[in-house]
Amino acid sequence: EFFDAGFMTAIVYPTPEAPQIVLINSGPVCSYAYLPAACPATSFSPATPPNETVGNPPTGTTVQVTSTNGGCSVTYDVVKPTCDACYIPTTITGSACEGLPADFASFEASLNTGGVAGLGAVNWYYDASYTNMVNEAAPLNIEIGGCAPTTVTLYAMGTCLSGAMQPAGQITLTYYPAPEAPTVVALDFFCNYGYAAPACPGTTFLTELSPEDPGDGGQTVSVDVLANGCVYTFDVVKPVCQVCELEADFTLIYEAGTGASAFFNYGTIDITSEFSTPLSYQWDIDGYVTYGVPEPGTINVLYTDESVFYVTITDATGCRTVVTNLETSIDDLSIINAVITPDNGSSTGAVNITVAGGDAPFTYAWQGPNGFAATTEDISGLIVGWYIVSITSADGQSAFGWFWVPKQTRGRGKTDESASIMAYPNPVMDNTNIAFSVAETTDATVTLHSISGQQVGQLYKGIVNGGETITLPFNASGLPAGIYFARLTTANGEMQNYKLVVGQ
C-alpha cells in the first residue's frame, strides 16, 4: 500500500570540467595560465600553473589540477604546453651619431634591449607585415640628410625553440645627419677668426680660434662641433690673414743744426690713403722723441739727431702701416749710434758716437759745459752736462746731435746708457762684426731688424758678464741692400739700437 509521504529536492552538479593550460609568456622562464572555465563557479587548484624553464621538459609536462564546481571536485592530469623560447617581445630605442653604420648587425649588438634575445635567430623587417627583410650585412636602406634626424622602426621575427617563427617586438632607431665641416673666416684685419654660420640650427662650434699675425694662417686646426647631442671633429684650414696696408708719408720739415732749430729735427707723418677712425699708435722709441696728433691722419714728430722711432698706425678696421725716421738712403749723413759713459765725479764721462753716410773726411765741432770744445769724433774726460756736436761731411752734408752725460749712481754704477752696441765696418758689403757690452751681468738679446721694424734674425741670446765685450761675426751678403738696425735688449730693461747700412 502506498501513501503520500512528501517529496525530496535533489541538486545535481555537472562533473567539473577539465582545465586547459596555455603559455602566456615565453623566454628563459615560461609563465602559464588557465583558460576561463565554461562555468563561472568552477575554480582550479593550484590557482596558477607552475612556471617552467626553457627546454625543461623539452616537449611539455603533465600536471595535476583539481577542478571544483559546487561540492564536486575532480582531479585531472593536464598537459602544459612546451616551454618554447622566441625573441622576447619588446620595444627598444637606439641612436647613431655617425650616420648609418656599415652593417646593421654590429650596430644591433651594441644596443641594450633590456631583455634576453631567446634561443633562436632574429630577422628584422622594415614593415609590420614582415615582407621587406633587412640585410643585416649592409647599411640600412634609408635616406639620411638635411638638418633633421631620421627615425626608422624595424620589426623582429624571432625563431622559437621549436623552430617556429613568431613576431618578437620592434625597435625604433634615430639616426642623426653629420653636420657639414665648419668654415673658418677672418673677421677683420686684426686677424681675429670666427666661423661662418652653420647650415643647420642648433650646431655649436666648441673650439676657440686663436688670432694670427698679419700674413700668417693657412695651417690646419682641429675643430669640435656639437650637433644633435653628438660631437664631431673636423680638420679645417684657417685662411691666411690678409694684410691691409695704409699708405703714409714722412716729411722732414727742418733738421737739427739749421736756423729753424738748433737741437731738434721736426717732421710730419701724413696718412695718404683712406682710413677709418679711430686710429691707434704704437711707438717704439730709442732716444728723445716727442709727438702730437693735431688731427686724425697727421702726426707731428720732434726728435734729436741720434734718436730712432718706429710708429705702427692702425685704423678701426685693422689696416696698418709702419713709419720710421731711419734714412732709406745710405748717402745721408747721420749719427747712427751713441754710447754715453757717466761721470763718477772725477771727470770720467765720455761720449762715443758713430757716424754713417756722406763723404769722408768729417769735421766735428763739440760744445759743452764751462766752455768745453773739441773737434774729435769721440770725447772723454767729461763732467756732468749737455754736450752738442755739429758734423760736416766732405760733400757738404751736416748732422747735429746733443747728449746728456749723467752722474754715475752709487753702488754698482748702473745707468740707463750703460749698454752699448756697434758694428764695424759699417756700411757693410758682406762681412762685419757686431760688438756689444753691458755694465753689469744680465741676460741679453741681440736681434736684427729691417727698416719696417720686422725682425729678420736673432744674433745672440744668453748671459753677458758686466764689462765684457762680445763680438759677433756677421755675414750680411744674404740681405737686400738697405737700412737695418741691430737691437741690444737686456733683462734690466735697457735697449740700444744701432743702424747698419748694407750695400750691394
Q: What is the pLDDT of residue 6?
A: 62
Whether 381 is covered by a domain: the verdict is yes
Number of alpha carbons in the 13 Å side-chain half-sphere of residue 66: 8
Q: Which residue has the higher pLDDT, 472 or 451?
A: 472
pLDDT in tens, 17-59: 889 887 776 556 777 888 888 888 888 999 888 887 765 554 5
Same domain for 75 and 146, yes or no, is: yes
pLDDT in tens, 217-254: 678 899 999 988 888 899 998 888 777 888 999 988 87
Domain boundary pick from 405, 428, 444: 405
Check pLDDT > 80 for residue 163. Answer: no
Check pLDDT > 60 for residue 259. Answer: no
Whether 497 is covered by a domain: the verdict is yes
- How much is the average pLDDT of 276-291? 86
Same domain for 440 and 488, yes or no, is: yes
Whether 34 is covered by a domain: the verdict is no
Measure the CA–CA gap between 262 and 222, rounded to whole angstroms.
Answer: 61
Same domain for 297 and 267, yes or no, is: yes
Nearest CA-CA partner of 111 in 168, 167, 166, 173: 173
Q: Which residue has the higher pLDDT, 344 or 403?
A: 344
Q: What is the CATH number of the domain that holds 438?
A: 2.60.40.2550
Q: Which residue has the higher pLDDT, 196 or 307?
A: 196
Same domain for 385 and 443, yes or no, is: no
Measure the CA–CA gap between 504 and 500, rounded to whole angstroms.
Answer: 13
Check pLDDT > 50 for residue 87. Answer: no
For residue 379, give its domain range: 334-405
Same domain for 259 and 398, yes or no, is: no
Among 79-83, 263-267, 323-327, 474-478, which range has the highest average pLDDT? 474-478
User: What CA–CA distances, in Å, run from 260 to 193, 252, 304?
Assistant: 50, 12, 14
Whether 285 is covered by a domain: the verdict is yes
Same domain for 147 and 73, yes or no, is: yes
Domain boundary pick from 284, 302, 324: 324
* Mean pLDDT computed over every residue of the chain: 78
Q: Which residue has the higher pLDDT, 325 or 53?
A: 325
User: What CA–CA distances, in Å, run from 152 to 98, 108, 109, 110, 143?
Assistant: 16, 14, 17, 17, 10
Same domain for 401 and 426, yes or no, is: no
Same domain for 457 and 389, yes or no, is: no
Backbone angles phi, psi at 481, to 5 degrees: -60, 145
Per the structure, the count of domains in the chain is 4
Check pLDDT > 80 for residue 434. Answer: yes
Domain boundary pick from 374, 405, 436: 405
Q: What is the CATH number of the domain that holds 267?
A: 2.60.40
Q: What is the pLDDT of residue 124?
A: 84
Whether 23 is covered by a domain: the verdict is no
